[in-house]
Structure 1
Amino acid sequence: MRRRDVGTDIVNPRLTPLGWVGLVAVVVFGCLPTYWLVATALMPREEVFAPNRSFLPRAISLESFRTFSGNAELMQNLLNSVIVSSLTAILSVVVSILAAYSLSKFRYRGRGALMVLLLSGQLFPGALLLISLYLLLNTVGLLYTYTGLVLAFTTFTLPLTVFLLKGFFDALPDEILEAARLDGASNLAVLRRIALPLVAPGIATAGLFGFMRGWNDLLFALTLGGQDKRTLPAGLVQTFIYQGAADWPALMAASIVTSLPIVVTFVILQRFLVSGLSAGAVKG
């Protein structure tokens, strides 16, 4: 009997014309909110609120962007977001590396309970713990400070980043680490010289999650940041949303500016993220 080549059985999928129509419709539907955001930000104010507003802008105006950049309070909120998000990403990565490496490569009493405790942190919504966190930060004198915000954001980021990095450390062969220890390297040296370069995609992903947690949060920033330390999402709400109304053109322009750092960060770290996903797929 003639042996069949497995590779020849793989069929190259091709979309039918109806499939292409459906795919294009889904893409257009997904991109429509982004287009409406950009179009509203670039339209003149009188056109945005006109009863017969057109789908395509009749004229382009940067008035809404000038409204955002000319607001000194929003510029301070932007600086607060950069500081808090960067520190949250750094602290999340440092703590996650140590915790994930410990949970992955060491065996000790209470290890399983610690993993369950970390996972249980994902079971409670942040709003449920907000009052307790507010009272705790107020008691220790960290309310309305950068430190308080960073600790609050990091607390709710760690369960995800720890288990993300633990998966990367689990994929490292123990033989490589043991060989380094036999050569006289300490546990810290093994982690720094051997393990960390091999899990760089996971570190980049964890840092991105930490940065996004600090950048996008509204509830904690609005409650724990106060007037001076609140971040940009809280500043946008208090500046452009009024009782029963909203300054939509300025809010849309500010939303575009707010989204840019996340997009730029993702583009910079994209090759690490893709290589991490590829390594995970091959490993599986």
Structure 2
Amino acid sequence: MKFSEIVRTYKERGLPEREALLLIGKVLGKRKEYVIAHYDEECPDEQLDSIIHLFEKRLTGYPLQYIVGEVEFYGRLFYIEEGVLIPRWETEGLVDLSLEYIRKYKLRKVLDIGVGSGVIAVTIALECATNKELSTLGVKVLGTDVNEKAIRLAKKNAERYGISCEFRLGSYAEPFRKEWDSIELVVSNPPYVRNNAKLQKELDFEPKEALFAGEDGLDFYREFFNRYDISGKIVIMEIGEDQGEKLISLTGGKILKDLAGKDRYLVIEPRD
């Protein structure tokens, strides 16, 4: 059976051609460009079963990123594994805002709460290290997560890009309590989904503790702002598109929109 025939068969069942090419490449250990170049060749029998297995798995809604073991974020590829939240494009805005405030206030110490795969922390560290203006600041990036697998994966992604970040296991900022006073920027993509919310099928496979946060989705924010004195610090957090007004009331911060024009980021700047 030719690669093109396999792809065509599963495309009729709803599997996008691009995803099919990536999954074939996963089995062959090749990039999708190789698959395209050999599109009309016969698929080796010993690999056909593996390809069909991945196609069937993907059709159940199992995330493509978990299957291929990578996710693209801010123009780079990062390792990802089942059990760790898959980053979305909206979260790139957290990096943009963080870099903006690092540049504006000459910040040198950043804490990412709930690092997941480490994409936010590692990207901030990379951008600061490779930008001529920011590299002189010597920015240090810290990160925490309650998920041991996430901490391990974040370290792996930092190593992948040869960047130095410090990740510790624990909730909120607790692992860095002693450093709290010196932390200047807190960034986070926390869980903010309501417990009873109906989500797209793929999210059924992602860690619930990284998604859900109580009946109104605001448990994380309430706990964080009750627990920590943020005087003199900048806080940037991702939020649900319908949570802006409540978080303004809760924190006194401001709400910024994502590229789709939806409320997405809570920003709190030092008050005079």
Asked which structure has the greater CA Rg, the reply is 1
Instruction: Using structure 1 for the length normalisation, give the TM-score.
Output: 0.26
Give the number of the structure with larger relative contact order, counting CA–CA contacts within 8 Å between residues 6 or more apart: 1
Instruction: Using structure 2 for the length normalisation, give the TM-score.
Output: 0.27
